[in-house]
Amino acid sequence: MAWPISMRSPATHHPLLTSPSHLLRRPASPTGLRPSRSRSPRRRTMASNAAVAVEQETQAKVSLLRIGTRGSPLALAQAYETRDKLMATHPELAEHGAIEIIIIKTTGDKILNQPLADIGGKGLFTKEIDEALLEGRIDIAVHSMKDVPTYVPDGMILPCNLPREDVRDAFISLTASSLAELPAGSVVGSASLRRQSQILHRYPSLKVENFRGNVQTRLKKLNEGIVHATLLALAGLKRLNMTENLTAILSVEEMLPAIAQGAIGIACRSDDDKMINYLSSLNHEETRLAVACERAFLETLDGSCRTPIAGYACRDNDGNCTFRGLVASPDGTRVLETTQTGLYEYDVMVAMGKDAGKELLSKAGQDFFDW
């Protein structure tokens, strides 16, 4: 379906001074009288400086903003990116100790020996962090947007997306330069049904096995020869400064990205005006609109971790939005796709995402999602 198109150009511990635990008594004077307790100007100045230092240290230990995040290297890199942007934008947050990063372990981090679809699907990497936010244990939550369910708990909002990283997937192998060069029977490690279905659709002679863990864990398994190749999000490799590990970059035509891949989302409580103001200064509107379009598509399909779904919205050369959506069977035997174009505006793009989802639901039929 073609949406209205405009021809607009694209938008472009420090040391703490302390007093001794007790004061040493001065020797008695020759007269036997105790010395005077009055202080010289120099001693009064030293005492005053010590008091100021104590007060400053106490204030520094009370953080103004607490960031909640998972503890993986990539999640921490995203939290640090958020912290650095906040410090650069708000001088009061640049003070020592003003921002605290709090690591929260999620269900998805605790259970690593089962496929994601078998341990609950939606919210595996966000639920515990969102709970900490709503309970007031943290002030903002930093998420990979592709891990965030299409609904958010009451009392929480997602007002901010940081500028999106590269959405493409990276192919990594020690024996081949591309998926096409892998011999028949080769094993590709991936926990993503989206990747699995697209790989098997194009290369049915390959095998895909469940392959979970953080980036470092997956690369270690690859080096140990557990699989012949794996795919990782290029955005993660870039944020970790690990692009030297990639073998090739897959185009979006060969491997359509996950919904909101490469996008960082930051949540806060809906009644916390202070945090909302902080986050509004970081929001990248072009990314927010693209993510909204893709998530509208996902929500319409009501997809779970058992459904291979991919989608990507971007600004084209004319400044408009082009959206591509895909849904597939896990074995790759059926792949349904759609393309939509329209104005790069929130309402239009959300409508595009929904319309694309309805179109593929109609094409798929009632039994398509019964895996």
Catalytic residue list contains 147: yes
Closest Cα partner for 160 from 94, 98, 93, 85? 85
Scored b (16 or more CB within 10 A) or e, 35-46 reads eeeeeeeeeeee
**DSSP calls for 291-351:** HHHHHHHHHHHT--TTS-EEEEEEE-TTS-EEEEEEEE-TTSS-EEEEEEEE-SSHHHHHH
Answer whether 90's CB lies under 8 Å from 278's CB.
Answer: yes
- Active-site residue, selected from the candidate residues 109, 118, 139, 147: 147
Residues in the chain: 371
Token pair listed for 58: 């106490």
Residue 116, CA distances (Å) to 79, 193, 235 in order = 23, 10, 21
d(CA 224, CA 246): 16
DSSP 2: B
The owner of tokens 């309805």 is 358
d(CA 369, CA 94): 49
SS (H, E, C) 146-190: HHCCCCCCCCEEEEEECCCCCCCEEEEECCCCCHHHCCCCCEEEC
Q: How far is CA 302 from the centre of its chain?
A: 21
**Interior angle at CA 151, CA 153 and CA 147, nearest 5:** 100
Active site residues: 147
